[in-house]
Structure 1
């Protein structure tokens, strides 16, 4: 198995497209952090925060008769958090190194997912379209080991991109914004409407961890599609289509109050909804979503292995 995984990684990193994707991610993070530094002014954060609170209060009053109660509560909590920051001399998280790292995760997690979906969507289909799969199958390896090695290599690429995103964001954010804000607390409003201070390191790691779960599910879907189609371009195209439409369908089902939508895969892939206590559907929880994801995950992997086992190489 180790030899197969190593072989898949050698093929993956010998492609120019792989290094292009890595370069785009690094350059994108660098540019985003530089732009954030240019447009922000952390030295006057108190004055900026006072102006923001005043604007938020005006928006809240003008929206009381138009927005639903839940939206109004969210606005009130944001004002409460900003006022707490002023009263306790707590710099906004967006001006700290951890805040920058979290911002970059929001900006670039879709890009990481897209790049990994491209790799997953082509890693099997490309073998069939070029005919190189025959060279794999004549070796003394069973098909199950071959497909598993490809899947492991894809996950390793996803992990590499996430590590690059996190480390680059943290290092560049610290260089440009300073590391002194690394100890700033993560603020949130609890169920009783009281502002609480949490550990920012734990929150950041939880955010990246939960986003990684969503990434793994997208990768698994793309990988299954790659085992179905011989055309790598078709497999990649379908993977990208699912990536950008899945969450939109989940949002639409939520807005239409279709409660059965809570069983839809993409209603559960974004587990960060439970960090902010804003689930898409009522009656869902973190254990519920994890259970749904586990069922889909097992089904997708089983289908991938089954399809690859039955594929006709000669066709």
Structure 2
């Protein structure tokens, strides 16, 4: 367990040492502040927002800033496997006394940590900017809504980060991995009103719709979507692991 924890620490250090590490978080902070200012100055619905908690509940999920958090999380983590091949450093990883499964899992854990960091940064930026705009405070029910929407936003981001992670492991291309993650997130807004479509990844990724518009398609529920997402993510990780374990890097 200690060795695996060290692997995770090493992967996180690799991420933080990249010059591009803080670009997505800084962009997310800037976008959060700009969106808050624009809504406060020009939105006709601003009178309906009575506290920062109400603002956060409406903005931190996938239908708000969570969409940008997902995109920037994909950009920040898509190359975590592919760049090892591009830089030739994957050979040094594999000659150590570590299993390929441990190496891949440590990289995925670092990607999950980065995704969680992005959600927390989005929440903090929205809290500060929204607090000045709409007033700090909120009811207990509103803060529970914030926690729920934050969890939904994290799941949404993690789905597409996992998709990009798998594509990066399969193709060894950071560009293709980013493209797959971004394309997947764009397909989330497309709805095909056929029964088979409820088993597709995209309409299940945004769990926040169950608290607003209701089930996207008949027969869908939040439990159904969680099961579908778990199956897809298990397939993504299994595919990435299988290829990573069998690929010859000599």
TM-score for both structures, normalised by structure 2: 0.90
- Deviation of residue 40 (structure 1)? 5.6
Contact persistence 2:70–2:161 (CA under 8 A): yes
- Equivalent residue number for residue 129 of structure 1: 86
State how far apart, in whole Å, the 1-side matches of 2:134 and 2:209 are: 28
- Equivalent residue number for residue 172 of structure 1: 129
Contact persistence 2:77–2:111 (CA under 8 A): yes
Task: Give 3-state SS (helix, strand or coil) of 2:205's partner.
Answer: coil
Task: Give 3-state SS (helix, strand or coil) of 1:107's partner.
Answer: coil
- Equivalent residue number for residue 97 of structure 1: 52
State how far apart, in whole Å, the 1-side matches of 2:31 and 2:156 are: 21
Task: Give 3-state SS (helix, strand or coil) of 2:217's partner.
Answer: coil
Alignment of 1:27-106 (within 5 A): 27-39=30-42, 45=47, 92=48, 94-105=49-60, 106=63
Identify which of 207, 220, 234 aligns with 1:298. Answer: 234
CA deviations on 1:82-128 (whole Å, 9 max, x unpaired) are xxxxxxxxxx2x24212222343243212111121123321101111
Distance 1:33 1:9, change over 3 A: same
State how far apart, in whole Å, the 2-side matches of 1:239 and 1:215 are: 10
CA deviations on 1:135-190 (whole Å, 9 max, x unpaired) are 1111121111100000000000000010111122112211232125x12x8xxxxx
The size of the alignment, in residue pairs, is 245
Contact persistence 1:104–1:165 (CA under 8 A): no
Identify which of 113, 118, 122 aligns with 1:156. Answer: 113
Q: Please tell me the root mean square deviation across aligned C-alpha atoms, in Å.
A: 2.0
Larger relative CO (CA 8 A, sep 6+): 1 or 2? 2
- Equivalent residue number for residue 188 of structure 2: 247
Unmatched runs of 5 consecutive residues or more in structure 2: none
Q: Which has the larger radius of gyration?
A: 1
State how far apart, in whole Å, the 1-side matches of 2:211 and 2:238 are: 31
